[in-house]
Structure 1
């Protein structure tokens, strides 16, 4: 009985330690998701400023003279999958959503855990990168993606880019979004009719290409931050589910512990009572 009680107490201790680890992971995921959401505001504001500048330049240069690529050229697809585990089917949902777009494209994949999921589907990305552990590393990740893209664009391999990533909004489940990044849809840029054209130090076509490059970088940062936040939100949900399961298991073990203790106490009382009775019978016999 004592050995069984010690075994149960050891299992309870192990379960409590596992619960502490799960709570810590849940807290880290919550902090990272909150940090990413805060930085998204700044990135979206920056992208809106660039979009306004592009709209101003388009007022003085016809779209046909902008020198932007044709959407009918070679395509690239960048997927933002999970970097770490314990995020449920996060990567699988991204891969499922992008499956119809993968035919004949240059595939760029972000996320080490997502690469494992892609390999299981016999996908061979042309470029891979890790999602940074902190949001401060997102701009460098965007730099690496842009470098990989431009290396392919200079050879004429690709002229079009789409991004597939997850995003989370309060009160809604995580959604997978597909966004066209290159060539940009010029109709989305705000146009402002002005009495005088903007003052520029570059040729309008060159300036437009520079602004489009900056806008591409901002959009990649935006997609990466959304994916970063969504992955950590998914991890929070997974850890919350694990925490509930641990609580149920702990309650069951504690109930068994109380039962075993009661059985041990009952057995000890019976043993004492039996010993006392035997002692009295021995005294009576003498």
Structure 2
């Protein structure tokens, strides 16, 4: 085997290993995206339960007492952006920041989740007021949502923010991801209808206190859902990137295999020519010796 052919076959073996790694990464991303989708259903059931309780509490609270901290159309914005944590997801984080660009132009404090997002923010010279790593597993979503909830309520209590919005990606399966923007504060009580029956619930807390705590729980559920949806979307983006990478590697592998076959055929041809041209002198020499 010539050096050229040996080098080509070594490259083919390396590309085969790369294809195996890409397939494994695609499988892991698919598994994580499916797991996140299952958790979203549970989070939404929790949110519906809290929402029903808010409806009951609203019936006991005068309308003047329903406005949480930060109510009002104007003021400084606490903008939560949930970007990516790991690589090999294409332009995932860049697209999330593109969707948030309209909100980043006004008075705001950026609350950022995702180390990849921190790189994008640095490249675009966007100041980050608060940051945390994005989750690497679905089980970590509640911990991140808790930290986000505490951070934004601290900003509302300190008066450094009067409004809260969140920007995150949505999983789309085989379709391209979408990025959504949702307002968290001021809290929209119109989403929660008052109970149809006139039976008042038995309360152990003042109605205003109960309502405030329920609102905080609902905001926590919204942030948990956003984190989980973003986690699913990031892994779906990684799946799409790995599918594209696998197609490229397969095409490269086909090219290398074809080139190796040509080299091998050239070697075989050269060996045949050598045998053919080398056999005549050998026979003539034998006759002379006789």
TM-score by length of 2: 0.95
Which runs of 5 or more structure 1 residues have no equivalent in the other structure?
none
2:135 alignment partner, SS class: coil
Correspondence for 2:134: 131
The whole-number CA distance in structure 1 between the counterparts of 2:40 and 2:75 is: 31
The whole-number CA distance in structure 1 between the counterparts of 2:116 and 2:37 is: 22
Hey, which bits of structure 1, 4+ residues long, moved more than 6 A?
Answer: none
Correspondence for 2:124: 121
Residues 36 and 229 in structure 1, CA contact (< 8 A), matched pair in contact too: yes
Correspondence for 2:254: 251
TM-score by length of 1: 0.96
Correspondence for 1:36: 36
Deviation of 1:171 (Å): 4.8
Aligned counterparts, 1:14-93, within 5 A = 14-69=14-69, 70-71=71-72, 72-93=74-95
Residues 59 and 193 in structure 1, CA contact (< 8 A), matched pair in contact too: no
The whole-number CA distance in structure 1 between the counterparts of 2:153 and 2:60 is: 27
Aligned counterparts, 1:196-275, within 5 A = 196-275=199-278
1:154 alignment partner, SS class: helix
Farther off after superposition, 276-285 or 223-232: 276-285
Correspondence for 2:191: 188
Deviation of 1:60 (Å): 2.2
Superposed CA deviations along residues 126-172 of structure 1, whole A, max 9, x for unmatched, are 00010121111111111111221222222111132100000013453
Farther off after superposition, 170-179 or 134-143: 170-179
Deviation of 1:285 (Å): 5.6
- Provide the aligned length of Structure 1 versus Structure 2: 286
Correspondence for 1:175: 178
Which runs of 5 or more structure 2 residues have no equivalent in the other structure?
none
Farther off after superposition, 58-67 or 115-124: 58-67
Superposed CA deviations along residues 236-268 of structure 1, whole A, max 9, x for unmatched, are 000000000000001111111111111111111
Superposed CA deviations along residues 2-61 of structure 1, whole A, max 9, x for unmatched, are 100100011001101111111111111111101100000000110111111111111222
Farther off after superposition, 72-81 or 145-154: 145-154
The whole-number CA distance in structure 2 between the counterparts of 1:153 and 1:133 is: 28
Residues 8 and 257 in structure 1, CA contact (< 8 A), matched pair in contact too: yes
Residues 23 and 242 in structure 2, CA contact (< 8 A), matched pair in contact too: yes
State the Cα RMSD in Å. Answer: 1.4
Correspondence for 1:162: 165
Superposed CA deviations along residues 56-115 of structure 1, whole A, max 9, x for unmatched, are 111222332224231334320000001011111111111111111112111100000111
The whole-number CA distance in structure 1 between the counterparts of 2:142 and 2:266 is: 63
